[in-house]
Structure 1
Amino acid sequence: MGTQEFMLNDTIKSTLKDAAQKLTGNCKRDFMAKVTEDYFNSSARKAETVLGWNRHSVQLGLHERWTGIVCVDNYQARGRHNSVEILPNLESDICLLVDAQAQADPKFQSTFLYARISARAVKEALVSEKGYDKRELPSRQTLGEILNRLGYRLKKHKKPSH
């Protein structure tokens, strides 16, 4: 350990961690890189060991400081994407399956079509009739939400009472 690391008591470490936690993106990486330069001789590994920071983020921050080139964070690419974006024909295939099973509200009190089919049955039909892979399809709940968004109301299955 270098002599500067001994200057970091638990209070200072806690303050640095807290400050870094309040920042995001490039500002956070720049802060972590500056602390790493000042206290850890530009060693991302030492910063990781002493402060618990992600070594790769610190290293990226150091590179950004040295080159002057700031990396752009691509937050939109994270997480699971919308089922309709991944499977562009999903909505039209659902409509083709459900339209044959749908009926208008008998009292004409709403514009919704009532589907005499469950979301689970729609999922099974997409696999058997339209050739989808079960793993690529959204969950039963998400299929229900898609059906509702498309203007269908699903059949409610009553549980048998014992």
Structure 2
Amino acid sequence: MWINTATELSGSARRIFMAQVVELIGWGGQRFAESVLGWDRKTIRKEQKEIQSGSPYIDGRRRSGRKKAEAHFPQLLDDIDAVVGHTGQTDPTFKSTRVYIPITAKEVRRRLIDDKGYRSREIIGERSLRTKLNELGYRLKRIKKCLPLKRIEETDAIFDEVHRINQEADEQAGVLRISLDTKAAVKVGRFSRNGQSRTPQAALDHDFDPDTTLTPFGILLPQQAKSYLWFTESKVTADFMVDCIEQMWGKIENRERIHTLVINADNGPENSGRRTQWLKRLIEFSDCHGIHIQLAYYPPYHSKYNPVERLWGILENHWRGELLETVKKTLGLARSMTYKGIRPVVRKVTRTYESGVTLSKQAMLDVEQRLERKSGLEPWFISIQPMADLG
């Protein structure tokens, strides 16, 4: 009966029964159980230790293997929740209980190191962090861009020329390629992103007057993955853009070795191939630094192919779900984002720029004489030589 009963049981229940039988037998019970009943004496002793201590005995199998990160860092899950909890967004359709966060596992890891005092060598990696985020119920949300609205006859030819110029610029020494663009103005205040608040904080609708508005302007160096962001409460004019290029130029390493600057843009109203003030300022920049400038615009309705657009996508996903309540917080979120592991240089421009600056007819003719346009694609590809090279 004892043998059959022990066979039917398993785990802790089996060990308890075996220990009770040994106690019932009394002196010599363990030897009898081992020799007559065929029970393991070590198993019986294990259960006797459990009865004496009042807690389950941790055997070798349970002690072996890799422990979870929570065993080494008991506050890890709480710290992760503190880092991302206030940025979480529920499913906008309310069809699931998932919570979406606008930051990556890599950014969560950086914040744990910077804000919570974890050491880089000790904290778990990105893959494990994604697992912990899933366990906590958080999900990452990706944004799918829309298709171009229109195509013009020159679209394919423009793309071919842009790709050619960019490839040559990336392969040739002494050529620096930059991509620039202006993002839509951002309202500063307790406003929800996209008109809805899916965060634990109370937000206002965009119909209310904002405290102020900030217009971001960015320059990206695609080959180096370096980026520069400027925020202004003024208009982003042609003069503003060239002043930003001047500031960026001052931060470029080994700029004395650069002889050509290739600019990718989207042919907007303030930096188009017909905007004389923009072209005039670029000519002055070319003469001042003695470099050749090549403008290469992307086709209309295809600005999403401009490399700097990827920077805007990261920025929008980075601060989505955050309430941009103050200028300081807006700039701080921009500084904390990363593009390919590199943080941008962020500045706020306080100067007020006058819009609608135009040139006289004679000045416009003088500007046009300094430009070399590609035949058939005149508005999209413009070359500017410095005065020193013209003799």
TM-score, scaled relative to structure 1: 0.49
> When you count helix as a share of all residues, which structure comes out higher?
1
